Amino acid sequence: MPTVPASLVDQFEADGVVVVRRAFDASWVETLRAATERILGDPGRYAKDYARGGRGRFFTDHHMRLRDDGFRRFIADSPAVAIAASLLRARKLNLVDEHLLVKEPGTENPTYWHQDHPYYEVRGRQFGSFWIPLDPVTRENGTMRFVKGSHQWGRIFRPIRIGLGEAVTEADAFDGPAPDIDAEPTAYDIVEHDLEPGDCFFFHAATLHAAHPNETADRRRRALSLRFAGEDARWQPRPYIPSQFGTRTLVDGGPLDSEQYPVVWPAARPTA
């Protein structure tokens, strides 16, 4: 599924989030599941567990492609970059982040409402993320939630620790804290869907989003977020970001192109 219908691109631009059904075939899901198990068994230096009181596990990690061939192959050869390029109407894409998010059964932490923009060193509109579940997801085991149209509000809220809800005190104040969406649920148009493995969400970096806890006793919720930025993206240093490499060649206001943010589209073609 290399390209997406024009109607989905229009919907992404209007709503800031779309569901792409059957984006990845079963072999890609298996590749990512196996790679995820390897990372869970051997967490990297950016890994965290947000689970409260040792109940469940809310594991996150970044930059897995540098350590695992399964993630590397998914980025290089799966339809992900072509889909992202279509949805962002991008002629060029840089990979911005790979973020593994595993909520094991019995994890009480929700993922708190936030936008992705203030967590990344990126300025620009062409910035979006996949959320690719590797297990069937419903409200009970932690599917995602989005405030439709919030990418058009023209506001970027202060980042929080996504699994704990605490403010990132080192960050700028931005436009203050995000509104308490759950205190006034009828005031917002909230989008949430059940997904099957192979389906995914794609959402804009300014779209407010959250995820449910995994309240089940026995249903895992493994997911990969992959973030891409298009040709309008510029590097904007943000010193509080824990998953950055500290790349020295990047220049404030310059392109992202670097080992940290490799160009992934147009896709490299093997030479004959």
The continuous run of DSSP H or E covering 201 comes out as strand 200-204
Which residue intervals of 42-105 are DSSP H helices?
Answer: 69-77, 80-87
Q: How far is CA 172 from CA 79, 157, 245, in A?
A: 36, 10, 20
Q: In terms of CB distance, is 202 or 265 closer to ligand AKG?
A: 202
CB of 206 to ligand AKG, least distance (A): 12
Beta bridge partners of 197: 199
Closest to 132 measured CA to CA, from 22, 244, 57, 243: 22
Question: Measured between alpha carbons, how far is 112 from 128 in angstroms, rounded to an integer?
Answer: 18
The count of residues interacting with ligand AKG (CB under 6 A) is 12
Question: Footprint of ligand AKG on residues 86-145 (CB under 6 A)?
Answer: 99, 101, 111, 116, 129, 131, 144
- CA proximity to 93, closest of 218, 222, 233, 271: 233
User: Interface residues for ligand AKG in 156-185 (CB under 6 A)?
Assistant: 162
User: What is the distance, to the nearest Å, from the Cα of residue 226 to the centroid of all Cα atoms in its chain?
Assistant: 5
Q: Which is nearer to ligand AKG, 29 or 144 (CB)?
A: 144
Residue 225 binds to ligand AKG (criterion: CB under 6 A) = yes
Q: Which is nearer to ligand AKG, 47 or 267 (CB)?
A: 47
Residue 80 vs 223, nearer CB to ligand AKG: 223
Q: How far is the CB of 129 from ligand AKG (least distance, A)?
A: 6
Nearer to ligand AKG, 127 or 131 (CB): 131
Phi, then psi, of 229 in degrees rounded to 5? -125, 145
The residue among 108 and 257 lying less far from ligand AKG, judged by its C-beta, is 108
Shortest Å distance, C-beta 203 to ligand AKG: 8
Residue 153 is given by DSSP the state: S
Q: How far is the CB of 131 from ligand AKG (least distance, A)?
A: 5
CB atoms within 10 A of CB 187: 10
Question: Applying CB under 6 A, which residues contact ligand AKG?
Answer: 99, 101, 111, 116, 129, 131, 144, 162, 209, 211, 223, 225
